[in-house]
Chains A and B, each alone.
Chain A
Amino acid sequence: MTQHMSPPRDGTPRTAAGPAPAWRSLAARTDVRTLSLLGVLAALILIGSITKPDQFLDTRNLQLVLTQASVIGVVTVGMTFVIVSGGIDLSVGAIVALASVWATTVATQEYGFAGILFTAVVVGVGCGLVNGVLIAYGGMVPFIATLAMLASARGLALEITDGRTQIVTVQGILDLGERDSYVLGVPPLVLVFAAVTVIGWLVLNRTTFGRRTVAVGGNAEAARLAGIDVRRQRLHLYLLSGLCCGIAAFLLIVLSGSGQNTNGNLYELDAIAAAIIGGTLLSGGRGTITGSVLGVLIFTTITNIFALNNLQSDVQQIAKGAIIVAAVLVQRRTASTT
């Protein structure tokens, strides 16, 4: 959860590292931000249970919320890495669109399940590669490079589809989205999301790659002078984000049974918002996968509660904005008082 191994709760260093009581070490290990996010999520669950007890507290609804969170969740994991490194990837939605339509053309569908999966991932990684090379070795500002990718990938997606919806006819893909494929009640999409989350967490917290990502984001100059290959790290980060987009595109194909150039609309903003709510610093150097995933779950739960209560789009949008502000304020409050 936390980047610090045992951050002193008030910033004063402990002079001796004596064995702390179990509850204390647990509290110290869990970031206050994460705790406040869990609080927000708990409050939402409470609201959902009170307003629509029958529909909300239901296995099917849990499956629904997690499934709907899967696609944007996978994108957000990749985005979190990029933001932690001090970058930004505005092209995620467009990459998801491009990968999803490329993977569902008639020609690709001839190669069946594997062809679709392979194409989605390769297109995602390919776009990430272009982003990474432009940013790491071309010296372009991430904002601009990925904005250019956003425009080009959307354009190419439109070019491929001609604005048409590409229906998937590969049965294996379609089956994967059906209830029959659930593993012990867990939809395969959710399994993928969970796997990406766990792997993302491990990579960020337990590997040299994650450590270097944090270092580059925290202080790129210091990282460079410490002997880290900052440019290669950046390249790999955008590759990673592209990979996540490719996986997300595949999940979206499974979910919607189609590929469309309008897919992934505004994913970049949703993913950035989820990461920021999750406590990732937009300036880089700090961020947690747990927080980002909680951010995604909060958004998805809000949408779910609104839909169950039949609230209309205008109210939904106003409330969503208010909740973003509230969540960030609560975090700041809890972070500063503890």
Chain B
Amino acid sequence: MAPEPPLLSMDGITKSFPGVRALDGVDLDVQAGEVHCLLGQNGAGKSTLIKVLAGAHQPDTGTIRWLGEPVTLRSPIAAMRLGIATIYQELDLVEHLSVAENVHLGHEPTTAGFVVRGRAARASTAALLRRLGHPEIDPARPVGGLSAAQRQIVSMARALSHDVRLIVMDEPSAALDPDEVDNLFRIVGDLTADGVAVVHISHRLEEIRRIGDRVTVLKDGRAVAGGLPAKSTPTREVVALMTGRDVEYVFPARPPAAPGGPPVLQVQRLAREGEFEPLDLEVRPGEIVGLAGLVGSGRSEILETVYGARKPSAGRVLVDGRPLRPGSVRAAVRAGLGLAPEERKAQALLMLESVTRNVSVSSLSRFSRAGWIDRGAERGAARRATRELSLRPDNPAVPVRTLSGGNQQKAVLARWLLRGCRVLLLDEPTRGVDVGARAELYAVIRRLADEGLAVLLVSSEVPEVLGLADRVLVLREGRVVHTAPARELDEHRVLDLVMEGSPAS
């Protein structure tokens, strides 16, 4: 390391939220004038880290040094005073204020301390916009009328309106067209040439190669690699670091014979504008079909559209050859579909209720006559369904919130088992499930398939898809780029497909 201290160094940063350790001793150092890329899967801790950096979160332990001096970033204002500016993914601009007002929000040029000098603000904003290559944006215009790319520029101008030394950009290119991305990168180049450091978060490896100097990879709240050379580290190695696991999962054996028979679920040219392109797939009874792809590849959207929770812009879904009413969850459920959604607590569970009531909620009519619930029958059925899945504790009367993640997932599966569902849609079935419990969940899913269920599985964990599914569809940015039997694929191949989008190995 150079004799002079780095612009920023973070040592052993930890941050816990109730139930989650978001950051677990992260180290990060950033030199003046470099583009430092942060990589990691969803939930790896990137957002928490940049919020700590922006002064929005206070770390539990660890030290932050600025030019070698320990500092405490007590608030976003404190961070800004040091010269740290953050451009969030959801741009935090005030729609009804003008460009100039947004740029100077909180530090308006004033006379006598309180009279805002609007003209001065507009003039300095215009200068900043010129520097950013966008003189066409009128500083007096309300931000509400600007395009996504223009807003990005305004956010950038806001960052530069301070005496900025470090800019944090959270997926800045996500909403931009290619030539807008080019412009952004040109600006980044200008800034770094002036000695400003940039912390850049992106999923796109090619961007990291283009503008990045060094890469830090986060996984499960830890920096698994720090300061790798961005241009020369092989993709495979980066990917392996992102997904690297401590434990090999045990996957259940596939049945000897490939499942036959007519498909129970058929998806034909199903599409949602802006989310995923026309998609075809079929799932037979006893078969597990996996969708692999990164966040933003359209996986969850596809599953929810199949389920009717989102209305497709084109195409249709058939069960047993009969088309479902589009955009109707009730039609899907009636036809025998069941969804275990990605956000279990927010989308599936009634957290205040018992396991029994969570399991029975989709089958109430089975235990009721004229709306009157036979609670004995309900309890018995819920108990049988949860026993079949070995849900622990073996007492469906307990509130579902007291269950572990894996058992909560079993409660969701029991709901559909009880309903007699025939097609199970699983979105990230092991999210929030600890490693030990995963194998058991995999076994349950395989057994349900062996008993004749058709399963459509979505996961960002490639080994999970490969280990569990019979057939795999690889998605990249809303498009299926490859389809193959799981045994013909391996993790690196899938990751190459997912990240680069080229089928060549």
Contacts and interface: CB of A to CB of B under 8 A. Distances in A.
B375 A206 contact: yes
Given A5-B379, A15-B394, A211 B357 contact: yes
A76 to B, nearest CB: 21
Contacts of A6: 397
Interface in B388-409: 393-395, 397-399, 402-403
Nearest to A209: B371
Contacts of B339: 225
A221 B346 contact: yes
Nearest to B357: A211
Contacts of A215: 350, 353, 361
A143 to B, nearest CB: 22
A74 B248 CA distance: 61
B361 A211 contact: yes
Interface string B295-335: 00000000000010100000000000000000001101110
B404 to A, nearest CB: 11
B348 interface: yes
Which of A207, A209, A221, A225 is packed against the most chain B CB atoms within 10 Å? A225
Interface residues of B, number: 41
A285 B350 contact: yes
Interface in A12-30: 12-17
Contacts of A13: 393, 395, 398, 402-403
Interface band, chain A = 20 to 34
Contact of B402 (A3, A11, A214): A11
Contact of A224 (B309, B349, B379, B403): B309
Contacts of A16: 394-395
A12 B402 contact: yes
A222 B354 contact: no
A321 interface: no
Contacts of A286: 352
B371 A208 contact: yes
B437 interface: no
A324 interface: no
Interface in B158-179: none
Interface stretch (A64-72, A96-104, A226-234, A263-271): A226-234
A5 B353 CA distance: 10
Interface string B91-116: 00000000000000000000000000
Contacts of B350: 214-215, 218-219, 222-223, 285
A285 B358 CA distance: 13
Given A3-B353, A225-B309, A286-B352, A207 B347 contact: no
17 contacts: A4-B353, A13-B403, A14-B393, A14-B395, A14-B398, A15-B393, A211-B357, A211-B360, A214-B357, A222-B350, A223-B361, A226-B348, A226-B362, A227-B333, A227-B334, A228-B361, A286-B352
Given A226-B361, A229-B330, 16 more contacts: A4-B399, A5-B375, A13-B393, A15-B395, A16-B395, A206-B373, A208-B368, A214-B350, A214-B357, A224-B309, A225-B309, A225-B329, A227-B330, A227-B362, A227-B419, A285-B350
Interface of A: 3-8, 11-17, 206-209, 211-212, 214-215, 218-219, 221-229, 285-286
